[in-house]
Amino acid sequence: MQYLLLIYHNEQESATRSQSDTVDMRGEYRTFTDSIAKSGHYKGGNALQPANTATTVRVRGGKRQATDGPFAETREQLGGYYLVDANDLDEALGIAERIPGARWGSIEVRPVLQIPS
Amino acid sequence: MTAGLDQEIGRLYRTESGRILATLIRLLGDFDVAEEALQDAFGVALEQWAREGVPANPRTWLVSTGRNRAIDRMRRDARFVSRVEEIDAGALTADAGADAFENESGIEDDRLRLIFTCCHPAIAPESQVALTLRTICGLTTEEIARSFLVPVSTMAQRLVRATGKIRAARIPYRIPPSSELPERIDAALAVVYLVFTEGYAATSGDALIRRELCGEAIRLGRLLVELMPSVSETSGLLALMLLHDARRDARITPEGELVLLEDQDRTRWNRSQIDEGTRLVEASLRSTRVGPYAIQAAIAALHAKAVSATDTDWRQIAALYALLLERAPSPVVELNHAVAVAMVDGPERGLLLLDALGARGVLRDYHLLAAARANLLRRLGKTDAAIRAYEEALGLATLEPERRFLERRITELRLHDSDRAPARS
């Protein structure tokens, strides 16, 4: 079963992080990604550019509308994600709690819908 | 169909459906499918047992019939094809499961797993309690809705959402690993205690359901003690429930009137339950870290030990409330502490504490704060102030027996007052 782990953080707070802290954090993420790749949980994942680089697209009445900004303004913004394989929710929550960003932001754990073929 | 068989099946349904459902959920891996399978199995039993008689082991028969029916049903449903393969692949383990079902410990393991699933932190707290009552205690959605005073449709929706999340997010059906157990057992204890208080605290509604709720909570409490004998809070909770439940028959008159602890006929308390509860309290008090359930149970044990209200060891009870205030502070505990202090050091001292609590406003809408103040004012002979406080309590109380009790007190005080009136004029 697959779960998408959505990593939310406050971009304004993260922007004030010192350069050496940023280097440390990247190291922590690398170590974490390696460990879940080795254990066979890792299916994919990326960090994202800040929310102010987002563009939202809707098609209404056959016409495309593109607007600047993310879908919703929230206190914490989506900053990255992992796609993981796990036996059940407990295993997925166990992986989520080890994501470095869980210590300052929040991780939303969403089961991936399995569509019968 | 004989009336005897009808009764037998009815009895089996009441006493066994919770256990059978727990095992079916394990075998089938789906709450809704298991519930349908349970209904199917009892439906088949009604027909088949009338022709062929009741099987030697009805429980095992019901489980395997339910399981087979469910697999037939799932085969016809494209959404479940992969599930059926999983269950078929697990045929050997399913048989092993049926063996385990023959002995009591296998069944109780199934129920325990289910408690932890129902009390999973990923499920909203109000749904945890409802789901436990529905799946473990076998209450109907209507009964649960009635006991929580919400519309049946609201409760049905809550349950559908919870079982849907268990399925979609794959919340596991197992006893948590020891690293997670302390946190998870706290959640399970809280739910079991809520089931108990739901059955015990209120006096409105269906008396039979409420009695069953208390009985179920105690049974779940025993299961948790068996699973975690080393956790003192499991024994503490079981003791607390046994000790409160022991007073059940004495706390309400046949007419449904509330009887205060001090006025209860103590010979009607259930002595064997008190003895069991007291033994459990003593064991859990020896633990290095005494928790809130054990402390509350110790208080209940002191009340139970007293042969009369005046014989009660209020000094020790006040000390235990003070300890409880340290470990698990809450305004209601503060209120109980103040009442105990009033019994030791006199009503003036209790009133001081109650007024300080009242000034913070957190219990503004809690009728028992006003009622406790009224009682202390009454004992001090401040009749007018006592009547005003009782009237305030009456304005806040919602349960009929409590309202009638407060009304009786007001009437008594008014009569008492008018007795003195001629002398005053």
Q: DSSP letters along B320-352, please?
A: HHHHHHHHS--HHHHHHHHHHHHHHH-HHHHHH
- The residue among B154 and B74 whose pLDDT is bigger is B154
A31 within some domain: yes
Please determine, for residue B213, whether its predicted confidence score (pLDDT) is greater than 60: yes
CA distance B73 to B61: 18
Interchain CB distance below 8 Å, B180 and A90: yes
Report the share of chain A in percent with pLDDT over 70.
99
Span A40-82, pLDDT tens digits: 999 999 999 999 999 999 999 999 999 998 988 889 999 999 9
A111: which chain B residues are within 8 Å (Cβ-Cβ)?
A: 168-170
**CB-based contact, A51 to chain B, within 8 Å:** no
Chain B CA closest to residue A1: B170
B171·A88 Cβ contact <8 A: yes
| pLDDT tens-digit series, residues B394-412 | 999 877 788 888 999 999 9
Contact across the interface for B79 and A116, Cβ inside 8 Å: yes
Output DSSP code: residue B186. Answer: H
Backbone angles phi, psi at B2, to 5 degrees: -95, 155
Residue with tokens 């020891």: B178
Could you count the other beta carbons within 10 Å of the beta carbon of residue B79?
8
Question: What sign for the dihedral angle of Cα A34, A35, A40, A42?
Answer: negative
Mutation for B interface: A93, A98, A115, most B CBs within 10 A:
A93
B66 pLDDT higher than 90: yes
DSSP calls for B301-327: HHHHH-SSGGG--HHHHHHHHHHHHHH
Q: What is the pLDDT of residue B6?
A: 87
CB pairs under 8 A between A and B: 26
Q: Residue B423: which pLDDT band, with cuts at 50, 70 and 90?
A: very low
Where exactly are the structural domains of chain B? 1-102, 316-360, 365-425
Both tokens assigned to B225: 């003690």
Which residue type occupies B143? E
Q: How far apart are CA B196 and CA B115, in angstroms?
A: 15
- For residue B180, the chain A residues in CB contact (below 8 A) are 90
Q: What is the ipTM of this complex?
A: 0.85
Tokens 């959920």 — which residue?
B25
User: Which CATH architecture best describes the domain B365-425?
Assistant: Up-down Bundle (1.20)
Q: Which two tokens stand for residue B246?
A: 């022991």
- pLDDT score of B30: 84
How many beta carbons lie within 10 A of that of residue B120, not counting itself? 24
- Higher-confidence residue of B198 and B45: namely B45
* B82 chain-A contacts, CB cut-off 8 A: 116
Q: In degrees to the nearest 10, what's the CA dihedral of B234, B134, B401, B390? A: 60
A117 CB near a chain B CB, below 8 Å? no
At B60, give phi and psi (nearest 5°): -60, -40
Q: Do B172 and A87 touch (CB under 8 A)?
A: yes
- Domain CATH number, residue A49: 3.30.70.1060
Whether A54 is covered by a domain: the verdict is yes
Residue A35: the pLDDT is: 97
Q: Which helix (H) or strand (E) holds A4?
A: strand A2-9
Contacts of A85 in chain B (CB under 8 A): none
Q: Which of B178-192, B194-208, B300-314 has the lowest mean pLDDT?
A: B194-208
Average pLDDT score over residue span B161-166: 92
Cβ-based contacts of B120 with chain A (< 8 Å):
89
| Residue range B115-131, pLDDT digits in tens | 899 999 999 988 998 99
CA distance B78 to chain A (A): 8
Contact residues for B249 (Cβ-Cβ < 8 A; gap 6+):
B268, B269, B270
Q: Where are the alpha helices (DSSP H) in B169-291?
A: 181-200, 207-227, 232-245, 248-251, 271-285
Chain B residue set in contact with A, beta carbons under 8 Å:
78-79, 81-82, 120, 122, 168-172, 176, 180
pLDDT class for B258, splitting at 50, 70, 90? confident
Pairwise CA distance, residues B259 & B344, whole Å: 22
pLDDT cut 90: percent of chain B above it? 50
The CATH T-level fold of domain B1-102 is Rna Polymerase Sigma Factor; Chain: A (1.10.1740)
Q: Residue A116: list chain B partners with CB under 8 A.
A: 78-79, 81-82
**What pLDDT does residue B424 have?**
45
The answer to whether B37 touches B70, Cβ cutoff 8 Å, is: yes
Nearest to B172 among A89, A109, A116 (CB): A89
The reply to whether A97 touches chain B by the CB within 8 Å rule is: no
Is A116 part of the contact surface with chain B (CB cutoff 8 Å)?
yes
- pLDDT (0 to 100) of residue B338: 97
Q: How confident is the model at residue B81 (pLDDT cuts 50, 70, 90)?
A: low
For range A4-29, the mean pLDDT: 94
How many residues are present in chain B? 425
**Is A117 a domain residue?**
no
The beta-carbon neighbor of B172 closest among A90, A109, A116 is A90
pLDDT at B205: 55
Average pLDDT over residues B48-75: 92
pLDDT at B2: 64
Neighbour count for residue B126 (Cβ, 10 Å): 14
Query: How far apart are alpha carbons B131 and B114 in whole angstroms?
Result: 10
Average pLDDT, chain B: 86
Sequence-ordered list of residues with C-beta below 8 angstroms from that of B89, at least 6 positions apart, any chain: none
Q: How far apart are CA B225 and CA B233, in angstroms?
A: 9
A95 within domain boundaries: yes
d(CA B300, CA B303): 5
Least Cα separation, residue A96 to chain B (angstroms): 13
Q: What is the pLDDT of residues B214-246, one digit of tens each?
A: 888 998 899 888 877 778 899 999 999 999 999
Q: How many domains does chain A have?
A: 1
Specify if A116 maps to a domain: no
Which H helix or E strand runs over A45?
strand A42-47
d(CA B7, CA B392): 50
Distance from the Cα of B140 to chain A's closest Cα (Å) equals 28
The span from the CA of B172 to the CA of B117, in Å, is: 7
Domain that holds residue A60: 2-111
**pLDDT exceeds cutoff 60 at B97:** no
Tokens 């049974």, located at residue: B219
Whether A87 and B81 lie within 8 Å, measured CB to CB:
no
Interchain pair B172, A116: CB under 8 A: no
Give the range among A53-57, B193-197, B256-260 with minimum mean pLDDT: B256-260
Instruction: Say which of B82, B120, B168 has its CB closest to residue A111.
Output: B168
